[in-house]
């Protein structure tokens, strides 16, 4: 018998019958092409309906005689007032539309900070530094080792210099030094890539969740680059790993009311003063996965900047579930029993993130999904809610039909595994996020930009490609940004932190069970 045949015994005759079945992979291929055909049919339904109507109209117009056309012209001459009123109204409405529509926001370019090799931290070095503190118990040192093994991080992530010393020196001066290295390093690279002068920047947004000195980080940037006195400057703190997209959204709103402006967005996290020196396991996880990094992004609303820009911002969708107590406390900065400050991660984190994502994509879906996917989702929803057909599974839209590239916040392996499963993404789609986690670790709000830089370095960005950035953060928040490529990004012309070693990626990251 073939692998696709099933034997069945007929109850009446006792004979063995053979039911021919297609192999599973052939069935999946058939379903794939059926769905693809359905997608193209629905997406082009308007054209399929308009073509016959246009053909009928053309045939009808071709039958008009010279006498018919003369009669129509005479009628228009006698209704000159109506024609003038309609024309004026049309011009007025068109003018009103072009004056009130939102300004287009362009991403001119961005840069990610790559620390120097002397602060590179392998897993073995991390464990040795942890032992040398003399603070962690043997059980918790073993716990941290298991976290590192299962984290998805590689051997070349970066740690602040102050924490690499023995003993560690977490103080305000060292924290400022880390902030300056990351911010100024990324901004210097960005200004060099774009040729923009610091005085031309009219809007500045800096986000860093856990380090908020006085003067602020945004004031530090203004002072270092001698930015102009009337700059609109904002500093966002305590907003978690999703603050990078909040900064993008804030800059977008400001660019709507500030014509002909450039906006600089700086996203980073500071580790020096936020390494946890205690033995609460829920707080030790963040020690193991967070690493040093940051990014600077230049946005513009100038029509003249479209030609040199890489992307256009299409949508931003923000979801905040802070009204729910479980969501609010799942990532919480507090003191442990020994008064050591740390960030505690709740066991409910994955469930909370899933609910936040569901809410976010419910808003984003209608904006980006093709009509074919929206129709399937609507039909399934009606069947389940109205007709109570509980046997029908909830339909998960195929976001691969809406986006070519996915940049999912590299918060940890568990987050990436869950989104890969729920969104039914391939290893190719997940590669930028997994390789960013492996090479740079969790760099908080800037991780999305390391992922986009990886995609560019691989030569995957083509003109018209759509990229979905998804970030999660304390509060609890899930934020999305959608970008459309304005041109092909040539990796040979790029300067980003991946270019010297992109040929070494992707690497195989072993998949192991999570820690209970």
- The residues annotated as belonging to the active site are 241, 320, 405, 409, 442
Phi, psi angles (nearest 5°) of residue 336 = -90, -170
In sequence order, what DSSP letters do the residues of 286-306 get, joined into one string? HHHHB---EEEEEEE--GGGT
State the angle between helix axes of 138-151 and 281-289 in degrees (0 to 180), rounded to the nearest 10.
40
State the angle between helix axes of 172-194 and 217-225 in degrees (0 to 180), rounded to the nearest 10.
50
Contact 112, 244 (CB under 8 A): no
Question: What's the farthest any 2 CA atoms get from each other in the chain?
Answer: 101
Return the beta strands (E) in 76-180 as ranges. 105-112, 120-121, 157-158
**Rounded Cα distance, 410 and 112, in Å:** 15
Which of 220, 301, 308, 208 lies closest to 263 in space, CA to CA? 301
| N residues, the chain | 516
Which of 461, 445, 335, 466 lies closest to 399 in space, CA to CA? 466
Phi, psi angles (nearest 5°) of residue 391 = -70, -20
Q: Nearest-5° angle of CA 164, CA 167, CA 172?
A: 75
Contact 458, 288 (CB under 8 A): no
**Rounded Cα distance, 251 and 111, in Å:** 17
What's the token pair of residue 200?
């031309």
Distance from first CA to last CA of the chain, Å, rounded? 45
Rg of the chain, C-alpha, whole Å: 28
* CB count in 10 Å sphere of residue 508: 6
Contact 416, 426 (CB under 8 A): no
**Rounded Cα distance, 157 and 123, in Å:** 9
From the number of C-beta atoms within 10 Å of its C-beta (0-12, 13-18, 19+), residue 141 rates as: middle
What's the token pair of residue 147?
């976290």
């Amino acid at each position: 018998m073939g692998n696709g045949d099933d034997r069945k015994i007929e109850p009446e005759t006792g004979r063995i019958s053979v039911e021919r079945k297609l192999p599973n992979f052939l069935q999946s291929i058939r379903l794939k092409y059926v769905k693809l055909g359905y997608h193209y049919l629905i997406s082009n339904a308007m054209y399929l309906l308009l073509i016959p109507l246009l053909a009928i109209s053309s045939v009808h117009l071709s039958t008009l005689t010279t006498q018919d056309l003369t009669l129509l012209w005479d009628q228009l001459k006698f209704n000159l007032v109506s024609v003038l009123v309609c024309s004026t109204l049309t011009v007025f409405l068109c003018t009103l539309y072009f004056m009130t529509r939102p300004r287009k926001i362009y991403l001119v370019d961005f840069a990610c900070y790559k620390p120097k090799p002397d602060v590179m931290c392998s897993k073995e070095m991390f464990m040795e530094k942890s032992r040398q503190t003399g603070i962690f118990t043997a059980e918790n040192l073993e716990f941290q080792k298991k976290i590192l093994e299962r984290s998805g991080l590689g051997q070349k992530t970066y740690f602040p210099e102050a924490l690499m010393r023995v003993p560690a020196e977490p103080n305000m001066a060292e924290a400022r030094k880390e902030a300056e290295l990351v911010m100024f390093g990324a901004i210097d690279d960005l200004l060099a890539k774009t040729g923009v002068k610091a005085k031309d920047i009219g809007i500045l947004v800096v986000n860093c969740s856990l380090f908020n000195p006085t003067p602020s980080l945004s004031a530090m940037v203004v002072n270092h680059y001698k930015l102009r006195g009337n700059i609109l400057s904002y500093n966002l703190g305590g907003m978690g790993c999703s603050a990078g997209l909040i900064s993008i959204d804030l800059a977008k709103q400001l660019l709507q009311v500030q014509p002909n402006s450039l906006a600089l967005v700086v996203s980073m996290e500071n580790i020096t003063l936020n390494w946890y020196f205690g033995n609460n396991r829920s707080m030790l996880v963040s020690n193991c996965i967070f690493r040093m990094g940051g990014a600077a992004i230049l946005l513009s609303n100038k029509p003249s900047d479209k030609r040199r820009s890489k992307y256009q911002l299409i949508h931003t969708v923000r979801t905040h579930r802070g009204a729910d107590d479980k969501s609010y406390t799942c990532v919480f900065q507090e003191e442990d029993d020994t008064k050591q400050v740390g960030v505690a991660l709740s066991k409910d984190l994955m469930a909370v993130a899933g609910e936040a994502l569901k809410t976010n994509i419910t808003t984003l879906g209608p904006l980006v999904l093709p009509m074919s996917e929206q129709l399937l989702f609507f039909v399934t929803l009606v069947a389940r809610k109205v007709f109570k057909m509980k046997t029908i599974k909830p339909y998960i839209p195929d976001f691969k039909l809406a986006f070519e590239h996915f940049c999912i916040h590299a918060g940890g392996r568990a987050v990436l595994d869950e989104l890969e499963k729920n969104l039914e993404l391939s290893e190719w789609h997940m590669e930028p996020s997994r390789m960013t986690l492996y090479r740079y670790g969790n760099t908080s709000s800037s991780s999305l930009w390391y992922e986009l830089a990886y995609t560019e370095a691989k030569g995957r960005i083509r003109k018209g490609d759509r990229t979905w950035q998804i970030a999660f953060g304390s509060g609890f928040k899930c934020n999305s940004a959608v970008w459309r490529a304005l041109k092909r990004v040539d990796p040979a012309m790029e300067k980003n932190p991946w270019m010297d070693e992109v040929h070494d990626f992707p690497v195989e990251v072993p998949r192991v069970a999570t820690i209970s």
